[in-house]
Structure 1
Amino acid sequence: MHVADADIESSVGQPSQVTLKTAFTVCFAVLAVAVFAVLIVKTEAALILTGLAALFAMALDHLVSLLVQRARFKRSSAIAVVLATVLVVLTALALIVIPAAITQGEALANEAPELIEKVRTSRFFKLVDQRFDVLNQLQRKDQNPAGLASGALPPLLEAVTGAFSLVGATITVIFLMVFMLVFGPGLVQRILSQALPERRPRYERVLEKVYSATGGYLSGLTLICSINALLTSTCLAVLGMPFFLPLGIASGFSSLVPYAGPIVAGGFVTLLTLATAGAWKALLVFVYFVLYGVTEGNVLAPLVFRRTVHVNPLLTLFAVVFFGELAGIIGAVMAVPLMATAQIILRELLLIRREKLGDRVPVP
């Protein structure tokens, strides 16, 4: 007891380990985190546009690097060639596909009220409505004051505002992408030159892994979207669907959201087929989307997500749900590259910790 009392007295008599400098450091760290969180919330749109521009720039930079290494182009000439090629390809696709897609899209929009009424009066919808009370829930949403306030705005003004916003966002992304291609590598090298010499190789390795994973993901995702659009358009055209082209393009874009996108697109196209072409063709469309979903989920998606970004499908789905909640469809599209980047950084941090603990492991 006397020894314990002596230990307590000695510990009480010792000066506190928490200094004024430590207290200021902790307060400053908390304030910095709070400011950073507020900055992210306030600049959400700018961050989304910058992220999209960075993804496009990384995808095109792989082509630029290929021309520089294989064809011995200067980087400025390679950038010009890649941008010109992309512009020509997009223009050709626009001239071939967009006019027909717009025509069919206008016809679909004109027939939308009639199609909605057919869906509401169908036997399938009546069964679903009896089970889940869908109509009453939709009517409650329509009676929401916020919804009524937003609906009071003239549709023409909403359309004009949305068009200007889309054009402005597109121009911003294009300029950001071009500037990233031109000045991005030099800026990264100047930032790396400020790091300590012994830490610079580690930073370069992390950036190289992120660059390779993102580029592989984007190239594979482009292939998946193209396959989806081509197969879906062909299937709907063979079945005689009147709006096969815009529906096929929309289905292709749905693959930008891994796993969840094709399911939503398949359900929508199946219901639309049920309203326009009958139950048998709707059943065939449903079977097609099931077969394609199995193929994409078990063949195409693993080829992209496991071999390029090395992200587990479960983590991919979590990332899609989380970032989709934060930033909508754009967040869901950027979920996989962000998860891959976080995974790479976490692995490096764990490697640093193991090295500090003395468990030396070979660097991959």
Structure 2
Amino acid sequence: MSATLSPTKAAAALRTAARVSAESLLVLLMAGVALWVLGRMWSVVWPLVVGLILTTLTWPPARFLRRHGWPPALAAAVVTVSFVLAVAGIVALIAVPVASQSGELSQGAVEGVQRLREWAAGPPLNIGADEISGALDTAMARVQDSIGSMVTAVATGVGTVFNGVVTAFLALFLMFFFLKDGPRFVPWLTRQLPGRLAVDVPIVAERSWDTLGAFVRSQAFVGLLDAVLIGVGLWILDVPLVLPLAVLTFVSAFVPIVGALFAGLVAVLIALVSNGLTDALIVLAIIVVVQQVEGNVFQPMIQSRGLGLHAAVVLLAVTLGGSLAGIVGSLLAVPVAALIAVFWNYLREQLGDEGPDQDPDEADAPVAVMS
């Protein structure tokens, strides 16, 4: 005999489904409103994000100086000035050797492209001149589209180059104040929030800071790994400008997709101009192998360990972020996913049977209390 459907249970199930659907729609609506407000405030949010990322890189030396008796303002000023000088030195390290050989490189680049077209036109490829020109036009169009999308994404809410420069200076000033006054943030936040929020929000803030630091350190390690491996390959092949190319590879690791493409293209082009087609193909093979191993093995493993995320979650987050917000979305997807995981884990602790974990070490982050 078939079971009879209970009208009471069916009605209760429908009511539950309707309530869950309505609550889910409300959450999605609020998330959409929050993203809209974030987009309207992007000219302020973007330098704040950049300032926080820079602070995670510069906090360890600032913490070292503070622990050895330096005043907070002096330690923050010394670290900020040192950081600016280091960035200027890196730019000079790349620009000066390239500028000194710019004439030879530009002339050789034209010859290298012509040599590549002649090689492609001969056996075994036998590609016609029209097909080569069409392929080059298509490739240039794609590169221009990628660069355009990157510039548009980074400059959302800024609008002009002048505002972009102002944003960079604002990020540096924010980094200075984060280094100087960061340890007083949690006590101040505790005094401003009422009731239970005075306990929950500072804990989540401290854990979020630790997570952001883990992300930046993992990106720096991955970039250093790429720079060392590719730099060694270029050095073995006796390609000129090895050190600038290695530095460019490290810096470009912080810009997903386009950064690796640009750094690899520059290395292959210089190898083609200086060493010929064979070495250029070897350099291309080295870059492809390193990028594949780094992108599919080391980066997911390092980020999953440092951020507490599974490697598959890291890959999916980058894909989703890139599809939603382009280059900036790819750059911020992993830390945003990690911060969401921090909030979710803390919420599970509060809703579970066991109490929350003990607060993290307060001396390890600028948002924590320091003795």
Same fold (TM over 0.5): yes
Q: 2:18 matched to which residue of 1?
A: none
Q: Which residue of 1 aligns with 2:76?
A: 79
Structure 1 residues 98 and 272: CA distance shift in structure 2, 3 A: closer
Q: Deviations over 1:177-224 (max 9, x none)?
A: 223333444444323323345454433332222212222332343343
By how many angstroms is 1:362 displaced?
A: 5.9
Distance between the aligned counterparts of 2:277 and 2:30, measured in 1?
59
Among 46, 53, 57, the residue aligned to 2:51:
53
Which structure has the higher relative contact order (CA within 8 Å, separation 6+)?
Answer: 2
Take 1:346 and 1:100, find their aligned partners in 2: how far apart are those partners?
Answer: 49
TM-score calculated relative to the size of structure 2: 0.67
After TM superposition, list the pairs within 5 Å mapping 1:94-243 onto structure 2. 94=91, 96-104=93-101, 107-109=104-106, 111-123=108-120, 127=125, 135-136=133-134, 139=137, 164=162, 166-243=164-241
**Aligned to 1:360, which of 354, 360, 363?**
354
| Separation in structure 2 between the aligned mates of residue 40 and residue 63 of structure 1, nearest angstrom | 32
Instruction: Work out whether residues 257 and 320 of structure 1, in 8 Å CA contact, stay in contact via their aligned partners in 2.
Output: no
Q: How many Å separate the matches in 2 of 1:268 and 1:339?
A: 32
- Separation (CA, whole Å) in 1 of partners of 2:24 and 2:334: 33
Letter in 2 for 1:83: T
Say whether the 8 Å CA contact 2:300–2:314 is kept in structure 1. no
The gaps in structure 2 that reach 5 residues or longer are: 1-6, 12-21, 149-158, 359-371
Contact 1:210 1:344 in 2 (8 A): yes
Count of residues in correspondence between the two structures? 324
Identity of aligned residues (%): 23
Check conservation: 1:128, 1:134, Cα contact below 8 A.
no
Q: Give the conservation status (yes or no) of the 8 Å contact 2:349–2:356.
A: no
Alpha-carbon offset, residue 272 of structure 1: 6.0
- For residues 42 and 290 of structure 1, do their structure 2 counterparts lie closer, same or farther at Cα, with a shift above 3 Å needed? same
* Uncovered stretches (5+) of structure 1, i.e. residues with no partner: 1-6, 12-22, 151-160
Alpha-carbon distance in structure 1 between the residues aligned to 2:137 and 2:57: 45
Larger Rg: 1
> Does structure 2 conserve the Cα–Cα contact (< 8 Å) formed by 1:216 and 1:304?
no
Distance 2:41 2:222 in 1: 31
Structure 1 length normalisation: TM-score? 0.68
- CA RMSD in angstroms comes to 4.5
Distance 1:116 1:227, change over 3 A: same
Map 1:299-338 to 2 at 5 A.
Answer: 301=299, 304-338=302-336
Query: Per-residue CA shift, 1:81-127, capped at 9, x if unaligned?
Result: 32233244445545555411443466545654444444444329995
For the 8 Å contact 1:229–1:252, the answer to whether it is kept is yes
C-alpha offsets along residues 50-108 of structure 1, whole Å, 9 cap, x if unaligned?
2111211233234323333x313332232123223324444554555541144346654
